[in-house]
Amino acid sequence: MSEERRFGPKGPAVTRTGQLALAALAVAGLAGAVLVACGGGSGGGGSAVALPPASAPAAAASSPAAAAASTPASTLSLAAQVGQKMFFDKNLSGSGAMSCASCHDPAHAYAPANDLSVQLGGVHMDKAGLRAVPSLRYKDITPAYADLLDNPDGISVPGPGGGFAWDGRADTLAAQARIPLLDPLEMANASSADVVKKLQAADYAPLIAKAFGEKVFDDSDAAFAKALQALQAYQLEDRSFHPYSSKFDLYAANKIGGNLTPAETRGLKVFTNPATGNCASCHYQGAGLNGSSALFTDFSYEAIGVPRNANIPANNDLKYFDMGVCGPLRTDHAPAAPNAANSFCGMFKAPTMRNVATRQAFFHNGVMHSLEQVIRFYNTRDTRPELWYPTVGGTPKEKNDADFPAYGLITTQYTGGKVKKFDDLPPAYVPNIDTQLPMDGRAAGSAPPMSEQDIADLICFLNTLSDADTKPATPVKPGACVN
């Protein structure tokens, strides 16, 4: 590994949730990158710990595939072959027009092909969903949800982590698959028995019998459980769900084509630097759980105060709040009474950064539509909240000042009034908001943590996390990521 690939945090220990957290040093086989931990939300920080340089190499990422070719069907298990048929079968919906692939398009890293915040589904394909559709790539290593999941960085205190969906309410890929099949806003089948009937009538019913036995359809509940397992097997086995074919994978494996440009190298430093971007603190890219590596998530949950999205019809009800782990979609961590203290309210999963530059709707509610906008939100949520949250009681200016940025969600400038910060969280839960960099709660009007150069470099770096078969949502300008 060449010297330029090694770097450590030059900055001081980062302040996390008001406590000294750590500045850790790990020079490991992977990328020699430095990782700062994110144990998950306001649960607490650790003491300052420095890791010794690892002599054993970190678990290497799977070798990069030439492209994200699917695994040949013949080498998939029979269950996975069934799952593959099901994944693309539009008959498995109340409308007859929607399959898993309608929202999780393989040509878009298993995320939607469009830029809608939430997708339309239901029996008549006219019902808007509640959340943005995540990519299904790199989910195979996700552990089941736990309130005190060990942090893969090995340093942070355990905290809420693991599980599928933005709130972790499904423990396995099989359990997750039940949700869209039966959700009246999504595939909208009337019941699990309804799904099984459709499978029994499918042209691949013989394959199902071959995979699960001739008597598989005798017990509808058991057959439905097998069907969910089939979908899980497909996502686990087919390489197109975890191709590891990005430029970053070549870089991590020290392969030809893996030389990061100066701009990308600087971007990686911003990503890991606890004093500026600090992204790796939650979008952790080191050796992870179960021998994984470079997943760019530590599976943890935090409340970061993503603004409310008025384009989601459910939000027309001003009393409706999607609060992630504490509900309402998830029901096992609900507050004892409305607004009763509950540290889980507002927490959502820190998703992987792999293929993030291919996404067209960001955060659990899809309120943002470009990577640059997301990064600018991280940078200025606290220093310029008026760009992200509504101002109440002010007077709109006839014309914005020349220096009023156009990248925010709010494009009208006001005189007077008060910015309603954290407008998608009941005030009782605002204390749950995480306070680590880059959003450390600094005063409005103060300098943001990242410079314009940092932001440009970070975008360059994040583009190296896209698999070879994907297209960037916003192509980088020619030459922009070279020097």
Give the footprint of ligand HEC on this chain (CB under 6 A).
38, 98, 100, 102-104, 119, 121, 129, 131, 133-134, 136, 139, 164-167, 173, 176-177, 180-181, 186-187, 231, 277-279, 281-283, 302, 304, 306, 329, 348, 350-351, 356, 359, 362-364, 371, 374-375, 378, 434, 436, 438, 458
* Shortest Cβ 14–ligand HEC spacing (Å): 9
Cα–Cα distance measured from residue 86 to residue 198, given in angstroms and rounded to the nearest whole number: 10
Q: Which is nearer to ligand HEC, 280 or 419 (CB)?
A: 280
Select 253 or 450, whichever has its Cβ closest to ligand HEC: 450
Burial call 23-38: b when 16+ CB within 10 Å, e when fewer: bbbbbbbbbbbbbbbb
Q: Which is nearer to ligand HEC, 187 or 268 (CB)?
A: 187
Nearest alpha-carbon partner for 220 in 246, 240, 190, 244: 190
In the complex, minimum distance from the CB of residue 142 to ligand HEC, in angstroms, rounded to a whole number:
7
Nearer to ligand HEC (CB atom), residue 293 or residue 463: 463
CB of 424 to ligand HEC, least distance (A): 9
User: CB 68 → ligand HEC: shortest distance, Å?
Assistant: 17
Q: Select 229 or 293, whichever has its Cβ closest to ligand HEC.
A: 229
Distance of closest approach, residue 271 Cβ to ligand HEC, in angstroms = 6
C-beta of 465: minimal distance to ligand HEC in Å?
A: 10
Whole-number minimum distance, CB 283 to ligand HEC, in Å?
Answer: 5
Nearer to ligand HEC, 251 or 362 (CB): 362
Nearest distance in Å: CB 18, ligand HEC: 13
**Least Å distance between CB 270 and ligand HEC?**
7
Residue 327 main-chain phi, psi, to 5 deg: 115, 180
Is 233 or 375 the residue whose CB approaches ligand HEC more closely? 375
Of 33 and 356, nearer to ligand HEC (C-beta) is: 356
Q: Tokens in use for 461?
A: 């770096």
CB of 452 to ligand HEC, least distance (A): 14
* Three-class secondary structure assignment of the chain: CCHHHCCCCCCCCCEECCEECCCCCCCCCCCCCCCCCCCCHHHCCCCCCCCCCCCCCCCCCCCCCCCCCCCCHHHCCHHHHHHHHHHCCHHHCCCCCCCHHHHCEHHHCCECCCCCCCCEECCCCCEECCCCCCCCCCCCCCCCCEEEECCCCCCCCCEEECCECCCCCECCHHHHHHHHHHCCCCCCCCCHHHHHHHHHHCCCHHHHHHHHCCCHHHCHHHHHHHHHHHHHHHHHHCHHHCCCCCHHHHHHCCCCCCCCCHHHHHHHHHHHCCCCCCHHHCCCCCECHHHCECCCCCCEEEECCCCCCCCCHHHHCCCCCCCECCCCCCCCCCCCCCCCCCCCCCEEECCCCCCHHHCCCECCCCCECCHHHHHHHHHHCCCCHHHCCCEECCEECCCCCCCCCCCCCCCCCEECCEECCCCCCCHHHHHHECCCCCCCCCCCCCCCCCCHHHHHHHHHHHHCCCCCCCCCCCCCCCCCCCC
Q: Which is nearer to ligand HEC, 247 or 381 (CB)?
A: 381
- Residue nearer to ligand HEC on the CB measure, 266 or 413: 266
Residues ≥6 apart with Cβ < 8 Å to 461: 260, 263, 264, 265, 266, 267, 268, 270, 271
We find the least distance from the C-beta atom of residue 401 to ligand HEC, in angstroms, to be: 26
Q: Which of 5/364 has CB closer to ligand HEC? A: 364
